Structure 1
């Protein structure tokens, strides 16, 4: 039997989000893998008894593939088969950044990636840790793209679950002046746009409170049955709105405020992507039977 036929015959039914069979789901997933991330995307990895499900990392908006550089080795060291998705690259900005495309399309990319991970590892479910937009996108995947039965545990770090209250693009660029300068050189060589940069970011619009995307995602409840949810936030993470807006409601939901665990810890939104305590809390949510008290 050829490798192609084996891929199609894989138990669990590898298929595209619209129900079409994908002849080689692993090859399609590899096209979406984050390159050069230490410990991630070893397609020969097979989960062991300690962690029987592969772990998928999902980055945020304006991604330069840096979100998990410091924390991915922690997940790998814990013994996970680790995979990381690189999604949402638009034609104009894709050479520089990811996470800017429409979130409905990005959720379909996540569906393709997870199917490939499941096929490669021979498993039926994954766990997911997502940062910022990556903490919302899997909810779209689970609710509308057939992902609910394929996800066991989902951890969102600083996810704008009910939409941000400020313009996301401006807020992100204001917190990263070096990135703003890079965009200015890329989009505005003649300096004719002033402070408003014409950076295409449809995902930024999707993440605004009251957007059509947010309305559809949260209509009828925040969660889907059968998935364990954990949300990890910082009280200082306010540029997307009130930190309480990140919380989820529903069964099997655990909302954690970082300063409730470590009273003097108030990282901002961007700092949360590298925060060791947030990563430790994520690991505890993934494996509560072997939880370790974070070092503050």
Structure 2
């Protein structure tokens, strides 16, 4: 009976999503207030000729993601920018009033059911990339910079990879942080979201619920990743740094967040390099001091942090 009840609930949830999804509409790109970022009076310098654009992951936003990284990069003299992309507003189903904090990270499903939280980063990769590309064009126009440095966390890195596929000429460096180059099995998500785990949903199925189309497109073997990896994971003329954590519970196996064959100056960095006992989860990749230092080193071309 328990199995039957779970199956019924899954069917009802899938039906709910199927009913509301066709009416979902992506909103225009939004430029939020982020400390250290989005100063459109900032101008690049000969020492720092390219602005840095930060791309957030699925089910989060720029303000939450880059509260530490953006100020650090600004202090180093970079013009830093970050937009909220991939926002979907689903219809209110009459359950508004549930606190946002009560349903952390539930993405499209929570939005549909409770109407109070509009997530970002959960539309399809192609649409998100189009928004990101428009933002890059705007930043280049304002600053006069011919190229940009792109830093992406999780799905943000996948959006950046698609951006480079479309417009390699406008990108100087790419720094990905916990981005699944070859797809994630999302093995930790059913434990992180026990509601879905109790229903028997596996990692990819949970990712589709939590992160929407962006999650579904980042499991191994999807057409999106096959297209991005055709001819190699990188593009000539663009320098890549891939940063990963051995203890990432969302991007699994953790090795998928590293380049499979870094060449031509591209490199892989484990946040545990020189500090093997460090525990850094997926979200902590944007808050752990050692991870922030590794990202900064990738942007500046400077040395990695010293061993613990």
Task: Compute the TM-score of the two structures, normalised by the length of structure 2.
Answer: 0.73
Structure 1 match to 2:305: 293
Alignment of 1:24-43 (within 5 A): 32-43=29-40
- Picking from 245, 256, 261, the partner of 1:245 is 256
Structure 2 match to 1:279: 292
Q: Distance in 1 between matches of 2:76 and 2:303?
A: 11
Structure 2 match to 1:15: none
Gaps of 5+ in 1: 1-30, 185-192
How far residue 81 of structure 1 moved from its aligned partner, in angstroms, is 0.3
How far residue 71 of structure 1 moved from its aligned partner, in angstroms, is 1.9
> Per residue, is there more helix in 1 or in 2?
2
Alignment of 1:104-123 (within 5 A): 104-123=126-145
Structure 2 match to 1:134: 156
How far residue 122 of structure 1 moved from its aligned partner, in angstroms, is 0.5
How far residue 174 of structure 1 moved from its aligned partner, in angstroms, is 4.8
SS of residue matched to 2:183:
coil
What is the CA RMSD across the aligned residues, in angstroms? 2.6
Q: Does 1:201 align with 2:199?
A: no
Residues 54 and 83 of structure 1 are in contact (CA less than 8 Å); yes or no, is this contact kept in structure 2? yes
Q: Does 1:162 align with 2:195?
A: no
Alignment of 1:1-80 (within 5 A): 32-65=29-62, 66-80=64-78
SS of residue matched to 1:272:
helix
Residues 58 and 211 of structure 2 are in contact (CA less than 8 Å); yes or no, is this contact kept in structure 1? no
Residues 277 and 295 of structure 1 are in contact (CA less than 8 Å); yes or no, is this contact kept in structure 2? no
Runs of 4+ that moved beyond 4 A:
193-200
SS of residue matched to 2:88:
coil
Deviations 1:33-68 (A, max 9, x none): 441210111111101222111000000010144111
How far residue 261 of structure 1 moved from its aligned partner, in angstroms, is 2.8
How far residue 266 of structure 1 moved from its aligned partner, in angstroms, is 2.3
SS of residue matched to 1:52:
coil
- Picking from 261, 284, 287, the partner of 2:274 is 261
Quick one: structure 1 residues 256 and 39, their matched pair in 2 at CA, closer, same or farther if it must change by over 3 Å? same
Q: Distance in 2 between matches of 1:165 and 1:152?
A: 30
SS of residue matched to 2:252:
coil
How far residue 211 of structure 1 moved from its aligned partner, in angstroms, is 1.2
How far residue 275 of structure 1 moved from its aligned partner, in angstroms, is 1.9
Residues 221 and 250 of structure 1 are in contact (CA less than 8 Å); yes or no, is this contact kept in structure 2? no
Residues 232 and 256 of structure 1 are in contact (CA less than 8 Å); yes or no, is this contact kept in structure 2? yes
How far residue 295 of structure 1 moved from its aligned partner, in angstroms, is 7.3
Q: Distance in 2 between matches of 1:69 and 1:83?
A: 12
